[in-house]
Amino acid sequence: MSFKEIIGLSAGIGFFIIWIIDLNAPTPAEIRGKFWHELFFHYTWLMWSVGCLFYYQYQKNIRTQQEKDQEKKPKSPLNKKAKK
């Protein structure tokens, strides 16, 4: 797992935990009763979480594709002679 994957996954989980804590927090009085304001007030953390998890998956796909490309790349004949 690369550093970028670790950061993306950690941030995604962290923002998800913040969202859960935020749902239990009281909504400010000036926002209460206004549907869209309440929605954006609470679900911003969830969207940050989803964005970080998408970034994690993107970086993971790039790493696995690079690993597949390395496996398909022909081995150098110099390495075979050195092993004998």
19 within 8 A of 53, measured Cβ to Cβ? no
How confident is the model at residue 40, as a pLDDT? 82
* Dist CA 67 CA 9 (whole Å): 20
How confident is the model at residue 78, as a pLDDT? 67
User: pTM score > 0.85 for this model?
Assistant: no
Using only C-alpha atoms, the chain has a radius of gyration, in whole angstroms, of: 22
How confident is the model at residue 39, as a pLDDT? 79
Count CB atoms within 10 A of the CB of residue 45.
19
Count CB atoms within 10 A of the CB of residue 59.
19
Question: What are the residue ranges in the chain where pLDDT is below 50?
Answer: none
How confident is the model at residue 47, as a pLDDT? 94
52 within 8 A of 45, measured Cβ to Cβ? no
